[in-house]
Amino acid sequence: MTDLFTPMDLHGLQLPNRIWMSAMTRTRAELDGTSNQLMADYYAQRADAGLIVTECTAVSRQGRGVVGGPEIWTDAHIAGWRGVTDAVHAADGRIYCQLWHAGRVSHPDMRGGELPVAPSPLPAEGKFKFPDREVDFPVPRELAADEIPPIIADFAQGTRNAREAGFDGVELHAANGYLHDQFLQDITNKRTDDWGGSVENRARLILETVDAMAAAWSMERVGVRLGPSISLYGMGDSDPLTTFGHVVRELDKRQVGCLTMLEPNAKDLEKGVAIENVAETFRPMTTVPFIVNTGFDKAKGMRTIEAGHADAVAYGVPFLANPDLVGRLKQDAELNKPDPATFYGRGPDGYTDYPALNR
C-alpha cells in the first residue's frame, strides 16, 4: 500500500518519500535578493524531504514583493542559489525553485518608486509589511497588453537561470493572490482584451508561462501551484470550479511535471469558500503527479495518499520548525513548537536553530 513513506518517481527524479517541503517565505536573503550561506544551511537541514520547493523567487526587478525575499535574474542571484543547491545535493536532497511575480502585492518603496503592476488597477486587501512598519497596498498600474509577453519571457529566463543554478526543477507560483492568480480570477481581472473576460483569456497567462518555462527546460521539470480557495489579499472568483477546472485540465493536456493545489485554511473557511475539499474535487481531473498542501498532519496525510486523492503531501510550518520532520513523522515523535515571531526576519533565530531529535 502506498503511504507517505513510499518512494516516488517524479519523471526520473527519485524521491525517497512523499513528504514534500512546501514553499515558505522566510526573508533571509540579502536585500538585493541574493541567496546566502544561512539559506544553504536551512535548506540542507531539511534535505530528507521527498522534494524541497523553495520560497517564492522573483524573476525580475518588477516582480519583487518581499523585503528580504530571494531573486533569480542576475549572475549574483544564480551564484547564490548554486550555493544552496550544492548544499542540498550534498545532503542527498532534491530541490525545485519556485518562480514568482508579486503583481499588485508589492509597494513602490521597494521598487525604486515604481508602482506595482496588475491585470487591473485594483489594490490588494491587507497591508504590505516592511521590517519596521505596515502600509496600505497602493492602486497598481494596469499592464498594457504589450507588457505581458516580456513577463512570460522573464519566467523562461528564470527557468534557465534555475537550471544553471543547479535546481532539479521549477514551480510556477500561480496561487496566493500573486500576478498569475490575479489574471486568472475574475475578482482581480476586469480586462476586456485577450487577457481578460472569458476563462480561456484569464487562464492565458498561466498557460503561456508554463509553455515558455517548458521550452526553456522540459515540461517534466515544470510544476504549478494553484489555490482555488485561497482568499489572501482579497482573492476570489465567481465560479472557481469552472475557472480552476479549466486550468487543471489544460495542464493535464500538457502533462505538466506536477501540480500542487492548496486546501483552504481556517481564515478561508471562515469567509465561506466555494470549494472546501480541493484534493477530492480536482484530483479526478488530472493524471499528472498531484500534491496537496495546507493543514495536514501525519494522519490526514496518510489518509489522503492511501485514498488516492494525492500522490504527495506538502508540509509547511511543520518543516519550518522540524528540520528532521520525515524522521519524526516516521517515529511518531513529538514535533518542535514553531515560533511565529521568527517566521520572518533576519539571522538564524527561528530559522536554523530548531533542534533535531539526534542533537
pLDDT (tens digit, 9 = 90+) per residue, 136-180? 999 999 999 999 999 999 999 999 999 999 999 999 999 999 999
Does the domain at 8-342 match CATH 3.40.50.960? Answer given as no
Rounded mean pLDDT, 289-317: 96
Rounded mean pLDDT, 245-263: 97
Q: At 355, is the secondary structure helix, strand, or coil? A: coil
Identified catalytic residue from 42, 43, 96, 178? 178
User: How far is 51 from 168, CA to CA, in rounded Å?
Assistant: 9
Q: What percent of the chain has pLDDT over 70?
A: 100
- What pLDDT score does 314 carry? 98
User: How far is 133 from 137, CA to CA, in rounded Å?
Assistant: 13
Beta strands 133-136 and 127-130 are: antiparallel
Residue pair 120/198 in contact by the 8 Å Cβ criterion: no
pTM of the prediction?
0.96
- What pLDDT score does 311 carry? 97
User: How far is 225 from 326, CA to CA, in rounded Å?
Assistant: 22
User: How far is 258 from 289, CA to CA, in rounded Å?
Assistant: 5
Band (111; pLDDT cuts 50, 70, 90) = confident
Does 233 participate in catalysis according to the annotation?
no
- What pLDDT score does 359 carry? 55
pLDDT digits (tens, 9 = 90+) for 29-59: 999 999 999 999 999 999 999 999 999 999 9
Residue pair 311/286 in contact by the 8 Å Cβ criterion: no
pLDDT digits (tens, 9 = 90+) for 171-193: 999 999 999 999 999 999 999 99
Inform me whether the pLDDT recorded for 344 exceeds 80: yes
Question: Cell 505581458 sits at which residue?
Answer: 148
User: How far is 175 from 102, CA to CA, in rounded Å?
Assistant: 10
Inform me whether the pLDDT recorded for 272 exceeds 90: no
- What pLDDT score does 276 carry? 86
pLDDT digits (tens, 9 = 90+) for 273-284: 778 899 999 999
Q: What percent of the chain has pLDDT over 90?
A: 93
User: How far is 199 from 12, CA to CA, in rounded Å?
Assistant: 34
